[in-house]
Amino acid sequence: MLKGNLTCEDISRLIIPYIDDKLTTNKRNRVAMHLRNCPFCMEKYRIIKTLLDSIKNKHLERAKKFRQYRLLSAYCDNEVSSHTKEKIESSLALSCELVQRTLKINSLRKALNQTFENKFANLELGLEKKVIERLKNENIFYKIRKFFLP
């Protein structure tokens, strides 16, 4: 247990849990008290806090961007509700960036679809006869077995 006033060394251990709000009320108050009285620790606290905030914001920003992309991707597949569709279309009218992203998704889809179609357009496998033959043979085999081993 930490007794008496906290030292600067204690603060460097407690500073991250303090920012994450993971300390007990008592500890939190004591850290706050130290920070108020110690300009060095206060400086340290400010730097770490700004750093962590910017990382968090970056994550949030990325998550937000992906959510938007996910919506556009589903929109391109016509897999959104009519209400969402209307909402997307009205945002598309206002944002060049969104239009560009949608166009990119569509050109990717087009490239994939065309390639897939061309690639196998002339492929002849002729497996249907073989498969049916095998199925018939297996059926005959079962019938024979059933006949001899009732």
Partner 1 sequence: MKYNLKNNNLDELISLAQKGDMEALEEIIRRQQKNVFATLYYLDAKPDEIMDLTQEILFKVAKNIKKLKNPRTFKSWLNQIIINQFYDTLRKKQKTIKKVCLDNDEEKIKFEIPDFASNPYQRIIDKELEKAIKNSIHKLPDPFKAAIIMRELQGLSYEEIARATNSNIGTVKSRIARARLKLQEYLKPYIS
Nearer to partner 1, 43 or 79 (CB): 79
Residue from 19, 27, 44, 69 binding partner 1 (CB under 8 A): 69
Residues with Cβ within 8 Å of residue 111, at least 6 apart in sequence: none
Contact between 127 and partner 1 per CB under 8 A: yes
Q: Of 12, 138, 141, 144, which lies in the binding site for partner 1, with binding defined by CB under 8 A?
A: 138
CA distance 30 to 4: 9
Map residues 89-108 to x or -, x wherever contact with partner 1 holds by CB under 8 A: ---------------xx-xx
Type of residue numbered 69: Y
- Out of 136, 142, 144, 145, the only residue in the binding site for partner 1 (CB under 8 A) is 136
Cα–Cα distance measured from residue 42 to residue 34, given in angstroms and rounded to the nearest whole number: 9
Q: Does position 129 bind partner 1 by CB under 8 A?
A: yes
CA geometry: angle at 89 spanning 84 and 93, to 5°? 150
Do 45 and 15 meet the contact criterion of CB atoms below 8 Å apart? yes
Q: Report in angstroms how near the CB of residue 127 gets to partner 1 at its nearest.
A: 5
d(CA 9, CA 22): 18
Residues at the site binding partner 1, with contacts judged by CB under 8 A: 66, 69-70, 73-74, 77, 79, 104-105, 107-109, 111-113, 115-123, 125, 127-132, 134-136, 138
